[in-house]
Structure 1
Amino acid sequence: MSLKIFTRSIGAVAMACWSSASTPATGLNVPVAARVISFIQPTPQGILPVAIVYQPGNATSEAEAVTIERALATTTQVGRARLKTRRVTTSNLAALDGAKAAFVTSSLRPHHDDVAQAATSRSILTITSDTTCVMAERCVVGITSADRTQIIVSRAAARRNGIRFGSAFLMLVKEI
């Protein structure tokens, strides 16, 4: 990646971290979450399968899955990768096969262990707005949007899932 593109990418994440005006206080800041994927090392290229993990019958989870899916429909290009999304239910986590990243809806606390196990065995980057998943080392990245957007990375979950980020990205986030 050229220095110019890299600098623009870091700037985009930094600006997204300082501004949350476009995202409500609840739910996942999808543009920032999608941009995080571009900082995986080695840099993803081509078509990148991503999953949206949700629980059928859980109205909050289903609504968030729809919101994420709609937002990703307008954010298909991330760096050199083009995102190809699909929904995966908590009852069929084997459907995560082939995914490189998974957006985990909030309100799935009873399923964090199952999601973490499925993601770890497939080396999947997990991204959520539920920071308890990150604090419990079950999800790799948490993105909060209360007063300002903050990105939290679980070192333990990233290591366990085989996910590496560039050092410049790690300087912009909170690692736990």
Structure 2
Amino acid sequence: MEISSVQKLCLHLISSAFQRCRQSEDLCRLSVVLNRSTAASPIVRVSISDTGIGSCLEEFQVLKIAGEFLCPEKWDGLLLVRTTSISDDEIYHYHLNFRESLSTRRLNRLPFNLKNSAKFSGTEVNLATTERIDVLLAEVNCFFHKMLILNIPNIVAELVIEQGDAPGSQHGDASKHMF
């Protein structure tokens, strides 16, 4: 079975997070959270975060999203990005709309948060999709198993599935792997 465009996008974003972690000298955490707030809701919120070196924003600016990713019934074309590097004093927030034409598409900088002299780095990317949560879970799980085989040192990966209206309610396969 061929994977969907939303699955490909999620796998690309997870792969980028692994790369940022691999470039870090420290122990890194990579988290993928799939959240469907209600059983009746078709919307799945996907959060991919890492404590790697922080994003190179060009990674998102040059991200080539083929027309197949922009299928309106599965993804609205919006990415929300938060990132900071160890040397930054702020946590930067960006909004990227892939529905804009290539010539006008840009990272829109949103208001930042101060780190208050804290020393940390990382990136979080969020998107919303109507792809079924079990379909996303299957590909993400498969990707994590491939990463286990590579035995990459110093990365802890976490996959969390949240479903339901109660805060903190987690169902499904919540797992952690040390790479």
User: Does the TM-score normalized on the shorter chain lie above 0.5?
Assistant: no
Structure with more contact order per residue of length (Cα contacts < 8 Å, sep ≥ 6): 2
Structure having the higher strand fraction is 2
So what's the TM-score if we normalise by structure 2? Answer: 0.28
